[in-house]
């Protein structure tokens, strides 16, 4: 036993010995590795900071060079294209401008028309129409100011829908589904983007047949073709396209509000072009998130205004021919789903057919569960989101004439009132230039929000109010407005009691702000953040109204 112990002691001493003497090479290696690790850990943030500092310095240098080269407004346009903010335009970033300048769009950007799934669900839509009331036209009435009878043939013969009923694959309606980054209630997006801007101007009037629809346009074109065979999905005037908003959602369904701007060409060769432009098409669709099922679809032209359709016709076939314009009332233009979409066949878990649509094409009968939304906003709020996307000037609330003066009285503000022939916030508008320029500029929006209650009204509606003996107060306010009105648009500043303290006609306003050719380059603006002559003139008009109101209030 002792011998065994004696034998072990030297071995243990051998193992312990290195700790009492010099450090082994392995220990030194461990220390060196730790030091290098510490150096690297400290150096990486410093190195990254150095790179970031260099990049920031380079970006600042490029920014200063860009300002010197392009100026502030040119830099604004450049930055709107430079999506990665590196002060270089890649071909992909320049692509939108190339498409606008050339009018040629890469076909790959358009979604292909959805292939019909024979085993998918089918949705049946029914079209309803009541033709235009000719006596509602405000200028032409039945005479149409000398237009030949043949030029009216398209309008007079359009009494009913071209296709009273039609079936669609439910999957085709996936065009209304939101993009991946727009999934919250209240989110809006362009279903069909507007292509009219400062580079393209307006589209020509002397056309008879619409271009071939592509991508998402295909379904919209098919829907509107149920009304008339020649719908134009891209209108002649901005804003074009279609915008949608999620009104409600749950785990499986969306309720989506949409608005479409489109128009019809009612005439064909040899008659001269006759354009029929409803103020808007609006509606909603309730569909599953995979677009396999559509619970409801409704599309219609709103008829709550006394006038809702713009009409324009040429006296000749060329673009330079004289054009006449009028506005009227269309009682009904509507598409409604006959019921939820249904499959053509029903199979069991083994794939065996247990029911199918019969030869009469009658849908299979189902009982559908009620949809309960987990998140939603009101129809009115969703419609407003869509409206502001189309018309930035609606960032300011425009109240009905009957409400504006009471609100102004309560908030101790003046009334900014616009009286016009056609609606300000749809395509039957006679104030198109006004809304697309000064009314959406940032300085004007700020001043209107601060000091005014805004309202716009149709001339015909104020004429009706003036004749209303049951409401003498509103009748008097309508009379005061009509006294100052001149065709086509009158902008006014009024006291809460209806007294007009300042007004200007749109034509006179545009003459005041018209730019001479040599001034055009200096005053051109790409954004509401830079003031142009029309913006400064309109601000002066509003401020003059505020000053004149002080005189009335002091009396």
Examine residue 11 and state whether it is found in any structural domain, yes or no: no
Q: Name the domain count of the chain.
A: 3
Residue showing tokens 């004439």? 401
Q: pLDDT digit string (tens) for 260-290?
A: 999 999 998 788 889 999 999 999 999 999 9
Give yes or no: residues 186 and 75 share one domain: no
pLDDT of residue 504 exceeding 60, the answer is yes
Predicted pLDDT at 436: 79
Q: pLDDT digit string (tens) for 162-216?
A: 999 999 999 999 999 999 989 899 999 999 998 765 444 567 888 888 888 999 9
Helices 442-451, 533-554: crossing angle, 10 deg rounding:
20
- In which band, very low, low, confident or very high, does the pLDDT at 237 lie, cut at 50, 70 and 90? confident
Nearest to 64 by CA among 78, 50, 75: 75
pLDDT of residue 445 exceeding 90, the answer is yes
> To the nearest whole percent, how much of the chain has pLDDT over 90?
48
Please give the mean pLDDT across all residues of the chain: 81
Give yes or no: residues 215 and 179 share one domain: yes
Show the tokens assigned to 28. 């030194």
Alpha helices in 82-216 (DSSP H): 91-102, 153-157
Long-range contacts of 487-490 (CB under 8 A, 24+ apart): 487/421, 488/420, 488/421, 488/430, 488/431, 489/418, 489/419, 489/420, 489/421, 489/430, 489/431, 489/434, 490/418, 490/419, 490/420
pLDDT of residue 394 exceeding 90, the answer is yes
In 3-state terms the chain splits into helix, strand, coil percentages (rounded to 5) of: 40, 20, 40
Nearest 5°: the CA angle 186, 235, 455 is: 55
Q: pLDDT digit string (tens) for 334-356?
A: 999 999 998 877 665 666 665 56
Examine residue 361 and state whether it is found in any structural domain, yes or no: no
Give yes or no: residues 378 and 406 share one domain: no
Q: Are 262 and 204 in contact (CB under 8 A)?
A: no
- In which band, very low, low, confident or very high, does the pLDDT at 418 lie, cut at 50, 70 and 90? very high
DSSP state of 290: T
Pairing of strands 231-232, 375-376: unpaired
Give yes or no: residues 52 and 179 share one domain: no
Examine residue 186 and state whether it is found in any structural domain, yes or no: yes
Helices 401-411, 472-484: crossing angle, 10 deg rounding:
100
Q: Are 484 and 498 in contact (CB under 8 A)?
A: no
Examine residue 9 and state whether it is found in any structural domain, yes or no: no
| Mean pLDDT value across residues 140-161 | 70
SS3 state at 316? coil
Q: pLDDT digit string (tens) for 109-144?
A: 334 445 556 678 999 999 999 999 988 887 665 545
Give yes or no: residues 548 and 431 share one domain: yes
Predicted pLDDT at 270: 81
Give yes or no: residues 95 and 141 share one domain: no
Of the listed ranges 15-24, 166-175, 310-319, the one predicted with least confidence: 15-24
Give yes or no: residues 82 and 144 share one domain: no
Q: Could you list the residue range(s) of the whole structural domain that residue 219 is in?
A: 121-344+368-386
The CA-atom distances, in angstroms, between 471 and each of 261, 418, 424, 535 are 36, 21, 25, 37
* CATH number, residue 475: 3.40.30.10
Q: pLDDT digit string (tens) for 458-494?
A: 998 999 999 998 999 999 999 999 999 998 899 999 9
Examine residue 13 and state whether it is found in any structural domain, yes or no: no
Distance separating alpha carbons of residues 339 and 470, to the nearest angstrom: 44
Predicted pLDDT at 61: 79
């Amino acid at each position: 036993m002792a011998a065994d112990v004696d034998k072990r002691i030297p071995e243990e001493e051998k193992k312990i010995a290195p700790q009492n003497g010099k450090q082994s090479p392995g220990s030194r290696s461990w220390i060196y590795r730790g030091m290098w690790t510490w150096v690297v850990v400290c150096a990486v943030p410093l190195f990254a900071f150095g790179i970031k500092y260099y990049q920031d310095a380079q970006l600042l240098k490029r920014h200063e060079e860009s300002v010197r080269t392009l100026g502030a407004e040119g830099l604004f346009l450049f930055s709107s294209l430079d999506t990665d903010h590196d002060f270089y335009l890649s071909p992909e970033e320049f692509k939108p401008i190339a498409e606008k300048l050339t009018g040629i769009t890469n076909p790959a950007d358009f979604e292909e028309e959805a292939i019909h799934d024979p085993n998918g669900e089918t949705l049946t839509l029914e079209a309803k129409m009541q033709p235009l009331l000719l006596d509602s036209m405000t200028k032409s009435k039945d005479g149409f100011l000398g237009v030949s009878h043949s030029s009216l043939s398209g309008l007079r013969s359009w009494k009913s829908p071209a296709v009273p009923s039609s079936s669609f694959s439910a999957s085709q309606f996936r065009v209304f589904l939101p993009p991946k980054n727009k999934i919250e209630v209240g989110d809006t997006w362009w279903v069909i983007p507007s292509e009219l801007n400062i580079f393209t101007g307006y589209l020509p009037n002397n056309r008879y047949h619409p271009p071939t629809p592509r991508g998402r346009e295909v379904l919209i074109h098919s829907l509107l073709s149920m009304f008339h065979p020649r719908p134009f999905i891209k209108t002649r005037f901005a804003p074009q396209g279609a915008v949608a908003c999620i009104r409600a959602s749950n785990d499986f369904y969306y309720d989506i509000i949409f608005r479409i701007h489109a128009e019809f060409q009612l005439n064909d060769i040899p008659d001269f072009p006759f354009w029929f432009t409803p103020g808007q098409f609006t509606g909603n669709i309730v569909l599953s998130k995979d677009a396999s099922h559509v619970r409801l679809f409704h599309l219609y032209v709103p008829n709550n205004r006394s006038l809702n359709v713009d009409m324009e016709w040429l006296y000749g076939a060329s673009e330079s021919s004289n054009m006449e314009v009028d506005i009227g009332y269309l009682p009904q233009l509507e598409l409604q789903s006959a019921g939820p979409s249904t499959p053509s066949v029903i199979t069991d878990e083994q794939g065996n057919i247990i029911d199918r649509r019969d030869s009469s094409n009658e849908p299979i009968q189902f009982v559908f569960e009620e949809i309960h939304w987990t998140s939603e906003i009101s129809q009115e709020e969703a419609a407003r989101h869509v409206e502001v996307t189309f018309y930035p000037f609606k960032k300011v609330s425009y109240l009905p004439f009957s409400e504006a003066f009471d609100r102004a009285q309560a908030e101790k503000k003046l009334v900014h009132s616009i009286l016009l022939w056609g609606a300000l916030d749809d395509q039957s508008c006679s104030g198109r230039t006004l809304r697309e320029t000064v009314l959406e500029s940032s300085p004007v929006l700020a001043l209107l929000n601060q000091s005014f209650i805004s309202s716009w009204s149709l001339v015909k509606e104020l004429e009706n109010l003036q004749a209303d003996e049951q409401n003498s107060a509103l009748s008097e306010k309508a009379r005061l407005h009509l006294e100052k009105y001149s065709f086509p648009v009158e902008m006014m500043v009024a006291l809460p009691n209806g007294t007009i303290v300042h007004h200007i006609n749109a034509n006179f306003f545009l003459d005041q702000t018209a730019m001479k050719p040599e001034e055009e380059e200096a005053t051109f603006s790409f954004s509401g953040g830079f003031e142009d002559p029309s913006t400064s003139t309109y601000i002066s008009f509003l401020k003059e109204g505020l000053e004149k109101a002080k005189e009335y209030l002091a009396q």
